[in-house]
Amino acid sequence: MKKTTNSRIFGAAVSCIAIAGITIASAAQAADIAVVHAGRLLATPGGAVSTEQTIVIRDGVIASIASGYIDAPDAGPNDRVTVHDLKDHFVLPGLIDSHVHVTSELGPGGKLAAVENSDADTVIIGARYAKRNLMAGFTTVRDVGARGEDAIFALRDGIARGDVIGPRIFASGNTISPTGGHGQSHGYNNEVFHVLKSSGVCDGVAECRKSVREQVRRSADHIKLVSTGGVLSDTAAGTGQQFFDDELKAIMDTAHAMGRQVTAHAHGADGVNAALRAGVDSIEHGTFANSESFRLFKRNGAYLVPTILAGVTVAELADDPDSFLPPPVREKAKQVGPQILEMTKAAHKAGVKIAFGTDTGVSKHGDNAREFSLLVEAGMTPMQAIRAATVVAAQHLGHYDKFGSIEAGKSADIIAVDGDPLADVTELEDVDFVMKEGVAYKAP
């Protein structure tokens, strides 16, 4: 009798465990499915526009694209299905800005903020700006220099975990700069200056190698250096080459050996060409690039990120008699600002690969899409400008297999506008729908 009772108890226990196992397995298999009904779809910029399409997304990844408006195929009873009605919208991939400074914004209080704000303050400020970038339709950004030692990495990782709302961020560490160069703080007394000194400042081949390795240790996704002087550094050092050729070569070789791409801030043609000869992967700004520069771009397969919007912004500030810009900066801004647009026209005509980038942080966060009309003014068609901010920018970052177009297997980074950006590219300045990794953050 006792044995029989124990057997029944054991059998019941096994049955309960089996039922619990089935329940757990069913819950584990439940998926988040999103269905997007797109009235017009530009799945791969540069290709054709399709009409009346359905995009099916499973757990943040595009599963399929089908003609017509259909429900979620193969949805299980436990799956969570959301339908997004964009039948009256123009749908395209999430935008990519290849040049932002997401933890700051140019203004009269910037110089003081650099010494008043802690890394924690900087992260909170960066979270606000990151959200503005995302809501403007930019689902991926590349940060090329941020305040604070670890703030940008904390923000990048917090967004990746889902703790903070913002675009996917690829971040450099401290900007690699020579002593007194554009990547270093200026205009402070020596005591403050030594507090602000970063691990990116280096002189000579050995120091430059060490600085690059230090950024990689700090988890930098790429390396940013200053090959020339810059507009916003408060010093009358011009916009010519600042690193010597052997230093540039040491930076490129070290970064590439450690699996990192390198981008160079460069205005003067001497610094642009020296960086290209040293093997840089991309040039930011490129203001005074010449025919030799364009030949080197094409020979090396390097990208140009012109940031026309930044040039327009600083030129406007320089012309304002009440501007907060100090005299050395104002003078450089008047020279550089108008020239970036003219250089971009020449580069595009020469067949240089151009990736979309704005230098947002110089201009206001959330206004990134103003760059599109400037690229069109520089000779691009609206389709080419959109392609620069999607396909080309994703290729530039080395992640076109993950995003940059709406294709099965890629991250569900999708935006929509109510007009036709191929007819009027300024439609992208007012995005109605934003989805990143299958999560809708903004809807009509």
Which residues in the chain come in under a pLDDT of 50?
A: 1-26, 186
pLDDT value at residue 28: 52
Tokens 């012309």 correspond to 319
Per-residue model confidence (pLDDT) at position 18: 47
Instruction: Tell whether 67 is covered by a domain.
Output: yes
- Domain membership of residue 7 (yes or no) is no
On whether both 173 and 275 belong to a single domain, the answer is yes
**Contact (Cβ atoms closer than 8 angstroms) between residue 214 and residue 199:** yes
Whether residue 238 is found in the same domain as residue 367: yes
Residue 209's pLDDT is 97
In terms of DSSP bridges, do strands 433-436 and 439-442 run parallel, antiparallel, or are they unpaired? antiparallel
For residue 253, give the CATH number of its domain. Answer: 3.20.20.140
Tell whether 2 is covered by a domain. no
Give 263-300 as a DSSP string: EEEE-SHHHHHHHHHHT-SEEEE-TT--HHHHHHHHHH
Domain of 413, CATH number, reads: 2.30.40.10
State whether 369 and 420 are in the same domain. no
On whether both 283 and 382 belong to a single domain, the answer is yes
Do 431 and 330 share a structural domain?
A: no
User: Which pLDDT score, from 0 to 100, does residue 22 have?
Assistant: 43
> Are 412 and 392 part of one and the same domain?
no
DSSP string, 16-38: HHHHHHHHHHHHHH--EEEEEEE
19 found inside a domain: no
In a shared domain, residues 219 and 139: yes
Do 176 and 220 share a structural domain?
A: yes
What does the longest C-alpha to C-alpha distance in the chain come to?
101
- 258 and 346 inside one domain: yes
pLDDT in tens, 17-42: 444 444 444 455 789 999 999 999 99
* 336 plus 420 within the same structural domain: no
Residues 62 and 191 reside in one and the same domain: no
Q: What is the domain count for the chain?
A: 2
Give residue 70's domain range: 31-94+407-442
Question: What is residue 182's predicted lDDT score, i.e. its pLDDT?
Answer: 67
